[in-house]
Structure 1
Amino acid sequence: MITFLIVAGLLVAGALLLVLPPLLGRGRHVASPAAADAAQAETALAVLREQLADLEAERAAGTVDEASYARSREELERRALDEGQSMAPVARAGVSRGWALAVGLGVPVLAVLGYLAVGTPDALDPQKVAGRQTFTTEQIKGMVGTLTARLEKEPDNVEGWAMLARSWLVLENYPEAAKAYARLAELIPDNPDVFADWADVVAAQSGSVMGEADEIAARALAIDPDHPKALALTGTAAYQRGDYAGAAARWERILARVPPGSDIERQLLDSVNDARGKGGLPLLAAAPAKQMPPPVAMQRGSATAGDNGGLKIAGRLEVAPALSAQVAPDDAVFVFVRGGAGGPPVAALRFKGSDLPLDFSFDGVQRMNGNAPLPAQLAVAVRVSKSGQPMASPGDLEGRVDGLAPDASGVVLKVERVRQ
């Protein structure tokens, strides 16, 4: 706001510097001879006559159209009239000092009053404009109307249909957004992004991914079998149908493409294990029992103790008495193995708050970093997640033990502090 006021004040001062000196008689003699002014005006009129002659010549040659000719001639005639009026005797500057005083005081006052009347004074307060949307809903509707009218004249405008679809999506008008995406799919039938976005809108409209949304997402996969959004949507549709194995298979294809150790990987792993568990498939990294038996993957014969590269850390997970009341039965409990220097998890287990205390073991649990060599020193950490997600949040309960060998046993891991 300070900057705006300074700039506005400078602009007003600059305007006054241009206006006041002539009114006060500065910059010229107190009594300006009428003859000098007349000579100057006569010279200006001569120049204007030459310009008018040039304009007539251009019109005759056809280098200027009638509309431009009319505008230019009108301007020349106006300027000639102004110069003719200036040939009248000039009054002495002294009689203009009253006007100078009025202008000097009136211009700033009128500028302030004018801004208060037609401007936006609230825009000078950062607190009042903080978080304000760039466009209002009415403005977006106006732009949508203009764009719709344009597309009636340009039905093959791909960029226009894409903008219209996104605009309807912002307005949460899903039926119109779906129509725009349908038209866009006709124009660019080989673009999987269009079909995936179309399926997403249809799912939002119907409240379910099953049915039409699933069919549209399948068309995206026919173009790109590894399209992440289409895999996510078809996986969700499979999950809603009760096809948990199909859901896990699609989500695992996304899991293979995300950065190891990232938040999205941990979220996907959680969803995959949920589907695998409901479908009777071995979990990728989970152990559901208090007295933890050999991992589910080993029970089903899909892994051996050596498959995880020698990771066999085992021990007892407990809760410090001071925090036991803060662990709810439905809280998600994650146990991670990480390198001693930090970084993404090497392997993870998931339990419920009602399972604690319990014995845990990473013997046979599938590793999250593939076949990469294990560090000589590892750390095992626990997190009781209040959000249900592996990512840390304030209020989570945590504990950690460092300096462990990959085959350490008898580890006592305690939930002993609250994350701030």
Structure 2
Amino acid sequence: MTVFLILATLLVAGALLLVIPPMLGAGAKAREHAARQEQVRTVLIVLREQLAELEADHAAGRIADAEYQRSREELEQRALTEAGTTEAGVDAAPARAWALGVVFAVPVLAVAVYLVLGTPEGLDPASARPAPEAGHQITPEQMQAMVVQLADRLERQPDDVQGWMMLGRSFAVMQNFQGALATWAKIGTKIPDHPDILADWADLLAGASGRKFEGDPDRLIARALELAPNHVKALALSGTSAFVRHDYATASAQWEKILASLQPGDGAYGSILASINEARAKGGMAALSPPAGAQMAGIGGAPAAREEGAAASAPLTLRGRLSLAPELVQQAGSDATVFLFARPLQGGMPIAALRLRAGELPVEFDFANAQRMSQGPLPEQIAVGARVSKGGGATAAAGDLESQTVLVAPDAQGVSIVIDRVRK
């Protein structure tokens, strides 16, 4: 009876693991949408502060009426565009009521079906006492124990394809990357030669190593593509691996194979095409034009479609390290907002901005996926600076902590920005 109950609970828990996290907003699409919304909010904050600065300059007579009107219209148009991007995002609101209903309904239905079709008298009545209502909830410790049991069973029965897929996805849902690595070290050599399993575990192992694909992830991806050359997840991972190691031609080629299997009206078509064109831009290749009817979505939530004949702006690939001087750590506090700006040398609207928390510093920053706030060709040099905003606004104020402005190329690497002074 005990074995039966363990297996039944494991199966129900596995089903809930596949269904409940997306309903609670924990799926990959929800995380992507949340990141996109966060970037849009950052842009809107900066635009609002830019408008306030413009109003102040006009009131003080520092800019002419014509320049004021033109700049105001540009800011308003940009704000409308960003607001439209926010509304166009996927509906990632958690369906908690449905999730709660599923959590209770699945076990109840399973028991009901067993009572009708199974053999209830086969259970020992003395030990089969009704569980309290809270018993429907599975604690993380119980789930971890079930995963360990599944891993132990796969060590003895390595040909169980569904078991391997459930094990990999359970580790991914639980974000237990260390457990996945330990399990892989123990029984990874027994993995079935199946493209779905190979791709899932390649993704899991790459995530466990900080999206580094060298070694086992690349080997598993290559084998999955040998078995199924058009396997979508394997192609996507292969392109990502190539992109990470700056092999942009291969990244574009692998993603183009996915694009060829989609219709222009598919929702994913635009985002894949945008990724392809980003790789092609970084690799010095001509961009692919979207066909009529393609649903376009830019990197980081920005619209990727441009007016016909307009020249695509060069990518901003500035990377480096942002840190806070040790003597200012206590003064900054861990929850203060940090803005990192990339601006034209002559000032004005930032080209792009990143928003962080002071508690995250020091941090490696990368503008490659940052929301562009002004379009057009990039200058040969840009001004980069950071500020800890005590009030949370993008406009500088007395008491803020800030860095020196550094002049760099838009594709500079290894740039060091240190917040080391208090604004007077």
* Greater C-alpha Rg: 1
Indicate the structure whose relative CO is greater, using CA pairs within 8 Å and at least 6 residues apart.
Answer: 2
The TM-score bracket by the shorter chain reads 0.3 to 0.5
Q: Normalising to structure 1: TM-score of the pair?
A: 0.36
TM-score (norm 2): 0.36
